[in-house]
Amino acid sequence: MPTLRSPALLALALCLITFAVNLQAPLYTAYAELSGQGAGATAIAFSGYVLGVLPVLLLLGGLADRVGRRPLILVALGLSMLATLIMLLAPGLQALGLARLLLGAGTALASATGTAYMSELMPGSDNRRAATWVTASTSLGFGLGAALTSVFLLSGPDLRPGSFYLHLLLAALVLLAVWRLPDQRAPRTTPLLRLPCYPSGSLAYGLAILLAWACVGLVIALLPSILKQHGLASWSGFSTFCVISCGLLFQPLARRLPPARATAVGLLVLPCSYALLAWGADSGELAAVLLGTIAASSACYGFIYLGGLSAVNSLAGEEKTRASAGFFLLAYLGFSLPVILTGLLVDRLGAGAALLVFGLALLIGCLLVGLALWRSHKALSTGQLAALRLR
């Protein structure tokens, strides 16, 4: 039977899985220089993540129902440890690409089943409470790894900072503890291949998180090299922490709003905050960068992340795992593909022009997704009203 400690232990496991994802982020520029490459190659290595995410979310939607939730969390923890070990043994862009692929596969396994597993460990709770625990733990993990690496780098350059060893130790301990978590399994006849699904009204939320995490990906992968031009490279890990984990500060407010309204607020904040951080990065204004990343985090890991995930799980009914996979599929596509294109633009046009092109695309995308969200919400509300009348 689930205990009060079970949700907390799962949250800690999810935090450590995502902790590894951006653990190396402050070293991206060092890896590129070591390999003699530029922003485009760095973005491509960074986006090896999506190559790990796609097969899991597209082809293994029924895996959790075949083998249970707990084994997937254990495998995700193991993959995160293997990725960290690779970067300790062979630092460089090639190793980064392989490590990112493993991290993508592990995070996809955890993302696809994390919310459903948390719901099972919280009997009697509503979907929003489980989603809140998942978004809080992963938001903290995604940002904390980069920030901790930056703290270790304050004492001097190091391709093997202490944060790597700390992750391996903590992840090993949590892996042993997760082994004892309770689990639920569906009948063995459940099909292994269950593609992600988008319940009616959920696609707009997936597109919103795509735009939000595209902004996050740009900050993590490309901002370090831009900040280095102004002698601010040591702050790149803290900017990563701000753009991700500061979203936790806004999740209590997001919880008090209906999911559609929370997502709409995020879509309003996102282009404005990006404009501030992009201007700060291009002009070397550190205060503007940090304020912009904190504001962007309110959208990316506060209003849009929590609002969208809550909405998708509410709309999914019994298909929570597949619907979560669909939501995170779009999120990780945004996290990778726009970053590659922007990185190539940085090498061709320079940082200022590339940031401007990305900003214009982000603004147009937010306007279109906001309109789609409004239409979807209106259609669902009309359908619910019609159903009440029929009764």
Distance CA 38, CA 40 (A): 6
Return the CATH number at 348.
1.20.1250.20
Chunk the chain into consecutive blocks of 10 residues (it has 391) and report each block's average pLDDT, rounded to whole numbers.
71 94 91 86 87 81 76 94 96 94 91 82 72 84 90 88 96 93 66 76 92 93 87 85 88 89 96 96 93 95 89 81 83 87 90 94 96 78 41 35
The pLDDT, as a whole number, for residue 371 is: 94
Distance CA 141, CA 145 (A): 6
Which residue carries 């633009």 as its tokens?
345
Residue 133 near residue 7 (C-beta atoms within 8 A): yes
DSSP character for 27?
G
State how many domains the chain has: 1
Distance CA 268, CA 60 (A): 35
Residue 168: domain span: 5-390
DSSP character for 232?
-
The pLDDT, as a whole number, for residue 387 is: 36
The pLDDT, as a whole number, for residue 385 is: 36
The pLDDT, as a whole number, for residue 391 is: 35
Q: What is the pTM of this model?
A: 0.81
The pLDDT, as a whole number, for residue 174 is: 94
**Vertex 359: Cα angle to 356 and 361 (nearest 5):** 110
